[in-house]
Chains A and B, each alone.
Chain A
């Protein structure tokens, strides 16, 4: 505040006597507007119309193509990068390493997840610290991954999973489930199965698979019935669902339909994950042979 007063004083002096400009400080423009006022996103209209083409031209039951790559963070034990068109994130897995502050002795290992949006990833700038939504996602991600990991193989140790979302265009949680399980496999941590994630948006009578950020559920929306979203984490080979989360108000029949559709989409994702892991193992085998 002291600085501001000084700047104002200097500006006032400059206005009166045309003295040389203040070269020590970088002054911003005298008037500025928030960039959010320039957004063309119309909030009064419902985000998902009852019928019609989706913003990116997909059909209601089509998911976006996925790109997966492992071994992108050299410091980490294992890592993976996932791109689902606009949604891009990196997952780094560290461990098994010693637990720093352990409450009690346990023969099972621990798994911790930290989910973070980078400040530039979403439409509106995010905080540097984890906010409530990111803490929620961290817990949900942990719930989805824990059943798949053989925790008894690393007693007294912990595995840390860090998700960094570089760009969020919808379905961040679903993509993070897939990305994290591929990163865990890349780290060499024993798992019962890979976990793939998929989410769906329900709006009125429409069931949209893999919603982008414009279609995503927000609680500030209009009050039609069947307004919400569902995210499913599935272990395809064991045919077991490891996590289901949903927000909003959804009728039970539609919820069942949404989960069934999500499960079938998760099964479709499985070969992509296997492919990316196979490619990285092949590369390592070739490198070891030469």
Chain B
């Protein structure tokens, strides 16, 4: 297998002919495709038959939260109307520095939006899976947990232990066996691992 070609930003890669197009890490200008990243060159065939020219950097790609991206956040403030959080991971890539996000009361659940109580859905310190619904305002991204698979993934109880999910709205502390209210994310069966006891 030949070594992949390494290119630098501004390097002219090829002419933009019939079935060639620029993908990630490349841009088109004056009928030519140029590289915009320093990395290795890859060509991928699209479903429509066009060849996409892309440049990859093997290490963590630069990720900024974009609309419809799945993000992992840590809740920082909880209010009656919304909760503020810090985006720590976008998709699979952990961020070096956090972005600010906000989950509004009407975006917590898909149904019965007016019956949502923020203090019974999230608490500060919870790790939550959410989806970016918009770039929001100048301060924070707008996030939503209005899907079954989104919501609280990890939480610590008032006693300080890591809680175990019991239902879509409750989590149980293994130490005190107290149940606390959270908007819990549904564990997808393909990711469950059963321990043999």
Contact = CB atoms under 8 A, between A and B. Distances in A.
Contact of B8 (A97, A187, A194, A285): A194
A127 interface: no
B97 A188 contact: no
A288 B97 CA distance: 24
Nearest to A193: B10
Give 8 nearest A-B pairs by CB, closest first.
Answer: A193-B10, A237-B10, A190-B36, A191-B9, A97-B97, A102-B138, A185-B38, A105-B138
A169 B8 CA distance: 29
16 contacts: A97-B96, A98-B98, A102-B139, A105-B135, A153-B64, A190-B36, A192-B34, A192-B36, A237-B10, A238-B10, A274-B8, A277-B38, A278-B6, A281-B39, A281-B57, A285-B58
Interface string B29-59: 1000010111110000000000000000111
B10 A284 contact: no
Interface in A67-98: 77, 94, 96-98
Interface in B42-100: 57-62, 64, 96-100
A235 B11 CA distance: 11
A192 B62 contact: no
A81 to B, nearest CB: 16
Interface of A: 77, 94, 96-99, 102-105, 107, 109, 148, 150, 153-157, 185-194, 235-238, 273-274, 277-278, 280-282, 284-285, 288
A193 B9 contact: yes
Contact of B57 (A94, A96, A103, A188): A188
B8 A185 contact: yes
Contacts of A109: 64
Given A96-B62, A156-B64, A284-B58, A190 B37 contact: yes
Contacts of B138: 99, 102-105, 156
A250 to B, nearest CB: 30
A91 B18 CA distance: 41
B100 A188 contact: no
Chain B: interface size category: 20 to 34
A270 to B, nearest CB: 9
Given A98-B98, A274-B8, A277-B8, A156 B37 contact: no
A131 B24 CA distance: 41
A181 to B, nearest CB: 8
Contacts of B6: 278, 281-282, 285
B84 to A, nearest CB: 13
Contact of A190 (B9, B98, B99, B141): B9
Contacts of B62: 77, 96, 153-154, 187-190
Contacts, number: 105
B122 interface: no
B97 A191 contact: no
A194 B40 contact: no
B4 interface: yes
Interface in B112-148: 135, 137-139, 141
B67 to A, nearest CB: 10
Nearest to A156: B135
A237 B4 CA distance: 22
B23 interface: no
A104 B25 CA distance: 28
Contacts of A185: 8-9, 37-38
Nearest to B66: A155
Nearest to A190: B36
A235 B38 contact: no
Given A97-B97, A105-B137, A156-B64, A188 B58 contact: no
- For B37, B38, B64, B137, the residue with the greatest tally of chain A CB atoms inside 10 Å of its CB is B38
A188 B9 contact: no
A273 B64 CA distance: 27
Contact of B61 (A97, A98, A104, A188): A188
A274 B8 CA distance: 6
